[in-house]
């Protein structure tokens, strides 16, 4: 990773900085944002963390999460804060469209932009781009960024815990970690005093009873297995959202249960959120779900984990996915 002298110069004097991550922030979005915040604050920067929409409840206990500003909840305050910023740090996304209206607003402000991200096909949205689709998480890149700045000693337990959060959530607790670097960084964080068990407990062992019941409902009543296409689908309707009082983050991870089936190579989770139909795709091996999401649903992500939104009905989105399966049958079998 290379950091230009211009960026170094920008960061070594106190600035007014906004750290921004994507809509429906996940562990990597929140972790990288908070890690960057706690790092930059050590330089005396004035930092705000902003997200387009609220983060899941399980991240409420992450130190600093509660100070974040949410565009959907307090748009005016976000606008006022953003207007005064000299530097935007964009984390875990690589296209303005991922932060929709907030992005439209930010683009009109003449702040410098630093982007750090690990998704495929970055758009040229920043003055300083750090993009590495090989990285397991954006948190990993934030760790490397701080090291490259020569600031290893600034990775204190607060910064470390936040980084560990993204390392864990983006790799399924290291199950899908593809590079030794991810494990080296995790080891280095543990050496610095990060409590891995505490971070895991906070994320995975703090569920509400209702969420476990929702998982049961998905597996018993909403799961379709299509052996001919080695595909599993789980869907949730608007009524399910009401019946189970589903809130932000409650459906996180459900798609992964489909991958636990030996025969399944492609996992699809389609859920009718209050205003939009959301798709989450996962795959094993070489099957590129990022391509499926990008080509057919205007979404994106990574080879084995990608997502998209659809403004069609749940029924027609479900049908569109099923109609695509014959097209991808060969790729599924080859994977
Ligand atoms: P998830 O299915 O957990 O929401 O997302 C899986 C991966 O795909 C994440 O890396 C996420 O950032 C990306 N992703 C999810 N939804 C979208 C989308 O609508 N557009 C793009 N470009 N990426 C998405
Ligand atoms: Mn990520």
C-beta of 301 in contact with ligand 1 (< 6 A): yes
- Supply the pLDDT for residue 50: 98
Least confident of 83-97, 133-147, 240-254, 293-307: 240-254
Q: Which atom of ligand 1 is found nearest the CA of 306?
A: 8
C-beta of 305 in contact with ligand 1 (< 6 A): yes
Least confident of 7-16, 99-108, 248-257, 310-319: 248-257
Q: Give the separation between CA 314 and CA 317, rounded to whole angstroms.
A: 5
Q: Which atom of ligand 1 is found nearest the CA of 299?
A: 20
- Supply the pLDDT for residue 189: 98
**Residues 210-334, CATH architecture:** Roll (3.10)
C-beta of 166 in contact with ligand 1 (< 6 A): no
Q: Give the separation between CA 132 and CA 118, rounded to whole angstroms.
A: 5
Ligand 2: distance of its center to the CA of 170 in Å? 6
Task: Considering every ligand atom shown, identify the ligand nearest to the alpha carbon of residue 120 and give its number.
Answer: 1
- The pLDDT tens digits of the residues spanning 79-137 come to 999 999 999 999 999 999 999 999 999 999 999 999 999 999 999 999 999 999 999 99
Q: Are 95 and 71 in contact (CB under 8 A)?
A: no
Domains 5-204 and 210-334 share a fold: no
Give yes or no for residue 275 having a pLDDT over 90.
no
User: Ligand 1 test: best mutation among 300, 308, 309, most atoms within 8 Å of CB?
Assistant: 300
C-beta of 43 in contact with ligand 1 (< 6 A): no
What percentage of the chain exceeds 90 in pLDDT?
94
Cβ neighbours of residue 99 closer than 8 Å, sequence gap 6 or more: 20, 22, 23, 52, 71, 93, 106
How would you write the chain as a 3-class SS string?
Answer: CCCCHHHHHHHHCCCEEEEECCCCCCHHHHHHHHHHHHHHHCCCCEEEEEECCCCCHHHCCCCCHHHCEECCCCHHHHHHHHHCCCEEEEECCCCHHHHHHHHHHHCCCCCEEEEEECCCCCCCCCCEEEECCCCCCHHHHHHHHHHHCCCHHHCCHHHHHHHHHHHHHHCCCCCCCCCHHHHHHHHHHHHCCCCHHHHHHHHHCCCCHHHHHHHHHHHHHCEEEEHHHCEEEEEECHHHHHHCCCCCCCCCCCCHHHHCCCCCCEEEEEEECCCCEEEEEEECCCCCHHHHHHHHHCCEECCCEEEEEECCCHHHHHHHHHHHHHHHHHHHHHC
- Supply the pLDDT for residue 207: 87
The ranges assigned to domains in the chain are: 5-204, 210-334
Give the CATH number of domain 5-204; options: 3.90.320.10, 3.90.1640.10, 3.30.1130.10, 3.90.580.10: 3.90.1640.10
Q: Are 93 and 99 in contact (CB under 8 A)?
A: yes
Q: Give the separation between CA 91 and CA 141, rounded to whole angstroms.
A: 10
- Supply the pLDDT for residue 212: 95
Mean pLDDT to the nearest integer, 176-205:
95
- Supply the pLDDT for residue 295: 97
- The pLDDT tens digits of the residues spanning 34-55 come to 999 999 999 999 999 999 999 9
C-beta of 50 in contact with ligand 1 (< 6 A): no
Ligand 2: distance of its center to the CA of 221 in Å? 30
Ligand 1: distance of its center to the CA of 281 in Å? 9
Give which of 24, 30, 55, 33 is closest to 114, Cα–Cα. Answer: 33
Mean pLDDT to the nearest integer, 167-178:
93
C-beta of 270 in contact with ligand 1 (< 6 A): no
- Supply the pLDDT for residue 247: 87
Q: Give me the chain's average pLDDT, please.
A: 96
Confidence of residue 58 (pLDDT cuts 50, 70, 90): confident
CB neighbours (10 Å) of residue 95? 18
Sheet holding 300-301, edge to edge: 223-226, 231-236, 266-272, 277-283, 305-310, 300-301
Give yes or no for residue 265 having a pLDDT over 90.
yes
């Amino acid at each position: 990773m290379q950091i230009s002298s211009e960026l170094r110069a920008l960061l070594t004097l106190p600035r007014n900085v906004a750290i921004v991550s994507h809509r429906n922030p996940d562990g990597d979005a929140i972790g990288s944002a908070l890690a960057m915040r706690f790092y930059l604050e050590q330089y005396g920067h004035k930092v705000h963390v902003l997200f387009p929409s609220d983060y899941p409840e399980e991240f409420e206990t992450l130190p600093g999460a509660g100070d974040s500003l949410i565009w959907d909840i307090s748009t005016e305050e976000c606008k006022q804060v953003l207007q005064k910023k000299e530097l935007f740090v964009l984390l875990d996304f690589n296209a303005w469209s991922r932060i929709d209206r907030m992005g439209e607003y930010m683009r009109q402000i003449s702040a410098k932009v630093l982007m750090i991200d690990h998704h495929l096909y970055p758009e040229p949205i920043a003055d300083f781009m750090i993009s590495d689709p090989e990285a397991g998480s954006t948190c990993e890149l934030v760790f490397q960024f701080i090291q490259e700045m020569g600031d290893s000693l600034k990775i204190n337990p607060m910064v470390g815990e936040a980084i560990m959060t993204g390392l864990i959530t983006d790799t399924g607790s290291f199950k899908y970690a593809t590079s030794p670097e991810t494990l080296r960084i995790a080891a280095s964080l543990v050496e610095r005093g990060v409590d891995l068990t505490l971070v895991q407990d906070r994320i995975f062992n703090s569920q509400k009873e209702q969420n476990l019941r929702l998982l049961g409902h998905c597996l018993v009543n909403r799961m379709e297995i299509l052996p001919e296409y080695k595909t599993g689908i789980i869907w949730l309707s608007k009524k399910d959202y009401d019946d189970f009082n589903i809130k932000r983050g409650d459906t996180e991870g459900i798609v992964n249960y489909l991958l636990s089936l030996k025969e399944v190579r492609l996992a699809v989770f389609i859920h009718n959120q209050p205003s939009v139909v959301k798709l989450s795709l996962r795959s094993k091996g070489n099957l590129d779900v990022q391509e499926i999401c990008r080509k057919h649903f205007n979404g994106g992500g990574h080879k084995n984990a990608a997502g998209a939104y659809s403004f069609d009905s749940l029924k027609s989105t479900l049908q569109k996915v099923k109609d695509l399966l014959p097209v991808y049958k060969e790729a599924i079998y080859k994977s």
